[in-house]
Structure 1
Amino acid sequence: MRFEVSKVLDAIEARLSTDPALARAVVDLSEIVRYADLDGGRPANSVRLGLVVDALGRYLSEENVPVYVVSPRALLSDTDLTSNERMVIRRWADDGKVEVLPMLDDRVFEVAELLGVPVLTRTRGEQFRARRPWVDEPGRLLAAVAGEGGTPVLVSRVGRGDPAKQAERSPMGERLLARVWRCPESNCTSFGSGVDSDSPFADMRTFTSPVSQPPPAVRAGAPSCPRHGAKLKDNGARPAVEVLSVRIDGIVRQRFVVSTEGPVVVGRAPEGGKGVMLGQWLSEDARKWISRGHVQFALRDDGTLTVQDVSTNGSGVRPGGSDDDDQRVTLGRNESRPLAAADVVELYAGVNVGRSKMWATGGVVQPHSVMGEAPTMALRKFDR
């Protein structure tokens, strides 16, 4: 059973991200783990994060939805969690998958405001209303509750939330996320430089790329490290990014980021384990047609997004997302083309890539669950 729980936690890990361009909601892990009413199990269980992640996927009708997780450091010593769960959360923190802080304060709500994403919580945020009046807006606070058949669903704490209508980043968020920040603690996972080569564990540490740095905390009006509390140094302009989505047979399977730092290859199974792999979602015919590395996306310094065909069989661009085959522009090997805002790249019939904001819905009612390997005994207590 421990092996099965570990597999679930690994599946959950794949949905964790502090990347501002990808995160779709923010949660307080110390709150989520105590939703015992969702499974009737022990007082605290980190696997419940998977239930909430699944609920978010259903709410957005999208596969592989990333969640920004914040946790107080005290959770790492909470004996209501198993030693394995505490170890996994520590690893997530060390790898920059989650944000572990000495004290939460209003960090969860701060992240939500800076990024323009909802908070998954059962609270109403009354204590933060004076500073963050948006907590009273429909869809900004979503509560995970047991729905029909006991399946967790997300409901808006105020009014009726519209999954297709995402809030905008705050002006402060836009300013902070336009810069790269450095923490004076060189080994800081989120804002460190990774230059402490004297450490015996230097090669094992993971550092966040400038492209995907989380938002700084704002303390006394200054950008600060959420973990260490130190004032951050402005290290220059942040690389520009575009968020793209892979849409296969009408279903958004994955979002990914292209930045001015370098191109991204999309294909059946890009070499070196880098790039965006589509093979697991393709039909047999599509796998035969689509090359391991099929198209390459790049973002120029002037903001132009380009696509280059690097395949054997070629690809195409549908201007404005048009379904008219007469308008489709064929790309042969090594041919490239700048992409307008609504252009869609077609690798094979029904296998498309475009800017994420083009598709208001992910097109799937029941996204793949991270809980597929969850043993019932891990969640539910024995009847006595």
Structure 2
Amino acid sequence: MRFEVSKVLDAIEARLTTDPALARAVVDLSEIVRYADLDGGRPASMLRLGLVIDALGRHVAEENVPVYAVVPRGLLSDADLTSNERMVVRRWADDGVVEVVPQVDDRVFEVAELLGLPVLTRGRAEQFRDRRPWVSEPGRLLAAVPGAGGPVLVARVGRGDVPAVAEPSPMGRKLLSRVWGCPETCTAYGSGGDPDSPFADMRTTTSPVSQPPPALRSGVPTCPRHGARLRDAGPRPAVEVLSVRIDGVVRRRFVVSTENPVVVGRAPEGGGVMLGQWLSDDARKWISRGHVRLALRSGELSAQDVSTNGTGIRPNGSFDDDQRITLNRDETRALGPTDVVELYANVYVGRAKLWSSGGVTQPHSVMAEAPTMAIRKFER
């Protein structure tokens, strides 16, 4: 069973991000792990984060939905978690896939405000209403509650629709336009991580393109983990958030920045966006390992064909074949705001905001490998 739990935690890790461009919701991990009514189990369990992530995926009808998790430092030594769970949270912190803070306070709501994201919480945030009145807006607070087929998200106000692409606040846009540096040893805003961590030799550093939003203390950008004043290190590279839609289902999102073009294909060499696992046999035969290269320069998104069979462009998302434009090897075309790249029939890449629904009612569950006892509540 321990091996199964580890596999689930690995699957959950793949759905965690502090990248403002990719996160779809914000959570306080110390709250989520104590939702004992979701599985009827022990007082605290990391697997409940997986249940809530699955609920978010069903809510937005999309595969591979990531969340931004804020973790109070005390959770790293919480005796209600198993030693393995505590070790995993520590690793997540060192890898920068969760944000560790001394105390949560209102950091979850600060991140949600700056990024324009909903908060997954059962609280009503009444203590924050004066300075964060948006918590009373429809869909900004979503509560995970038990449901017949697993947890469901219920909006505190309104219908609870989650936007396809979040709109940061004016202050959020300002903060996200800069790269920040922390004077401490810092994964998010500098180099390294906790030097005392058992994972210190494997730690990673967050790319400037995907730095999380700084905390604001008396209006000053501050490292949320160390409380140190951040240094403005210059302009942040521009980004575009794109989605892969296959057979009507949004399979994943990815970011193209001015510094990092991205190759999409069946199985791109040296990284990129791999589609092979979602393709039909015919599509796999047609789509090259590396099929199309997407780049962002001077605010202009472009597609360059690097395939054997060519790449289609659907201007304004039109499915009129008379309007379809074919790019041959090494040809490049600037993409308009609503243009869609076609690699094969029903295999598309476009800006994430083009598709308001992910098109799938039962996304793949991160809990697929969970021990039976972890989900027994829903089998009664």
TM-score band (shorter)? over 0.9
1:332-371 deviation digits (Å, cap 9, x = unpaired): 1111100000000000000000000011110111111000
Q: Which of 284, 292, 296 in structure 2 is aligned with 1:295? A: 292
The answer as to 2:88 corresponding to 1:91 is no
Secondary structure at the aligned position of 2:255 is classed as strand
Contact conserved, 1:95 with 1:206, CA < 8 A, in 2? yes
Give, in angstroms, the shift of residue 166 of structure 1: 6.1
> For residue 338 of structure 2, what is the aligned residue in structure 1?
342
The residue number in structure 1 matching 2:56 is 56
2-structure distance, mates of 1:354, 1:248? 11
User: Per-residue deviation at 1:168?
Assistant: 2.7
> What is the aligned length?
376
Correspondent of 1:368 among 364, 372, 380: 364
Deviations along 1:180-218, one digit per CA (max 9) or x if unpaired, are 000001x20000145999x99875220000000000000
Output the CA distance in 2 between the equivalents of 1:196 and 1:102: 14
Q: Distance in 2 between matches of 1:343 and 1:116?
A: 25
Contact 1:26 1:67 in 2 (8 A): yes
Decide whether the 8 Å contact of 2:164 with 2:352 is kept in 1: no
Q: CA deviation at 1:380?
A: 5.2
Q: Which residue of 1 aligns with 2:301?
A: 305
Letter in 2 for 1:285: D
Cα distance in 1 for residues equivalent to 2:367 and 2:134: 32
Q: Residues of 1 paired with 2:289 and 2:166: CA distance? A: 37
Q: Distance in 2 between matches of 1:126 and 1:298?
A: 44
Give me the whole-angstrom Cα distance separating, in 2, the residues matched to 1:162 and 1:203.
Answer: 42
1:135 correspondence with 2:135: yes
Given residue 9 of structure 2, which amino acid in structure 1 is its aligned partner? Answer: L
Post-superposition offset of 1:378: 3.9
| Residues 1:166 and 1:130: Cα distance change in structure 2 (over 3 Å) | farther
Q: Distance in 1 between matches of 2:164 and 2:188?
A: 29
Aligned to 1:248: 246
Unaligned runs of 5+ in 2: none
Task: Give the Å deviation of 1:262.
Answer: 2.3
Distance in 1 between residues matched to 2:283 and 2:224, nearest whole Å: 45
Q: Does residue 18 of structure 1 match 2:56?
A: no
RMSD across aligned C-alpha pairs, in angstroms?
Answer: 1.8
Tell me if the contact between 1:5 and 1:378 (Cα under 8 Å) persists in the aligned partners: no
Shift of the 91–168 alpha-carbon distance from structure 1 to 2, 3 Å rule, reads: same
Go from structure 1 to structure 2 and tell me whether the alpha carbon gap of 1:125 and 1:211 turns closer, same or farther (over 3 Å shift). Answer: same
**Of 248, 272, 277, which aligns to 2:274?**
277
Matches within 5 A, 1:134-173: 134-149=134-149, 151-164=150-163, 168-173=167-172
Distance 2:151 2:198 in 1: 44
- In 2, distance between residues paired with 1:200 and 1:108? 27
TM-score normalised by length of structure 2: 0.96
Matches within 5 A, 1:206-217: 206-217=204-215
- Relative to structure 1, the CA distance from residue 165 to residue 135 in structure 2 (aligned partners, 3 Å threshold; closer, same or farther) is farther
Sequence identity (%) = 78
Q: Who is 2:319 aligned against? A: 323
Whether the 8 Å contact between 2:39 and 2:374 is mirrored in structure 1 is no
TM-score (norm. length: structure 1): 0.95
* 3-state DSSP of counterpart to 2:157: coil
Aligned partner of 2:290: which letter?
G
Alignment partners' CA distance in 1, 2:90 and 2:259 = 30
Question: Cα deviation per residue 1:237-290 (whole Å; 9 max; x = unaligned)?
Answer: 000000000000111000000000021000001112x10000110001101111
The answer to whether the Cα contact below 8 Å between 1:268 and 1:279 also exists between their aligned partners in 2 is: yes
Instruction: Name the counterpart of 1:110.
Output: 110
Change (3 A) 1:333 1:28: same
Partner amino acid, structure 2, of 1:350: N
Aligned to 1:183: 182
Aligned match of 2:236:
238
Matched, 1:352 2:352: no
Could you say if the C-alpha distance between residues 259 and 227 of structure 1 is closer, same or farther in structure 2, counting changes exceeding 3 Å? same
Give unpaired runs (5+ residues) of structure 1: none
Change (3 A) 1:166 1:317: closer
Please say if residues 306 and 337 of structure 1, whose CA atoms lie closer than 8 Å, have aligned partners that are also in contact: yes
Q: Distance in 1 between matches of 2:369 and 2:302?
A: 40
